[in-house]
Amino acid sequence: MIKLLAVASIVVSGSLFGLSLCKTEKEALIQTEDFYELISYILYKIERKSLPLDKIFSDYFSEKRSFYIENALKEIRGSYGEKISHICENICSDEAKHEMNDFIITLGTLDKASQIESLKKAKSCMEKELSRKRTDYNSKTRLYKTLSLLISCIVAVLLY
């Protein structure tokens, strides 16, 4: 009886480990979605409302859109470009970081038309990144769940 309970606990703990890995992947996907939303928000506010960056970011903070992005923007010192660069470093792939570089460097330094063009390129880049992350999320979570259950079952059988 005790052996059976030990085997069951091994299988359950292995499955829970796989689920915790899935949760980590989900958080990474949510952060990428939030970053995409921030880029879209900046684009909308500049394109439609012609607001300065200070006003755009103060509105973003007051609307409490994303806990992760908001904290990162508040904690990092420097220009808005440096703040977004830091977020991009933690969220984006190397390819996306390279594509986002023009936007990051020129944020707040160009005329409205050039800034909008730069933001549209950044938004397009983030759409590709988000699509890639969603695909990765689906495949990785399936893999994590399956492997963790399989390994825990193998260990349980070996110990039984």
Q: What are phi and psi of 76, to 5 degrees?
A: -85, 130
Type and span of the H or E element at 50: none
For residues 41 and 148, give the distance between their C-alpha atoms in angstroms, rounded to a whole number.
39
pLDDT for residue 129: 95
- DSSP, collapsed to helix, strand or coil, labels residue 110 as coil
Q: Which two tokens stand for residue 36?
A: 């995409």
For residues 76 and 67, give the distance between their C-alpha atoms in angstroms, rounded to a whole number.
14
* Total of domains in the chain: 1
pLDDT in tens, the chain (160 residues): 788 888 888 889 989 999 999 999 999 999 999 999 999 999 999 999 888 888 998 888 888 778 888 888 888 888 888 888 999 998 999 999 988 988 888 888 888 899 999 999 999 999 999 999 999 999 999 999 999 999 998 988 888 7
Q: How many helical (H) and strand (E) elements, i.e. helices and strands, does the chain have?
A: 6, 0
For residues 61 and 68, give the distance between their C-alpha atoms in angstroms, rounded to a whole number.
11
Best CA proximity match to 91, nearest among 133, 127, 43: 133
Please tell me the pTM assigned to this model: 0.85
Which domain covers residue 40, as residue numbers? Answer: 2-159
pLDDT for residue 40: 94
pLDDT for residue 41: 93
pLDDT for residue 138: 94
pLDDT for residue 155: 87
Type and span of the H or E element at 107: none
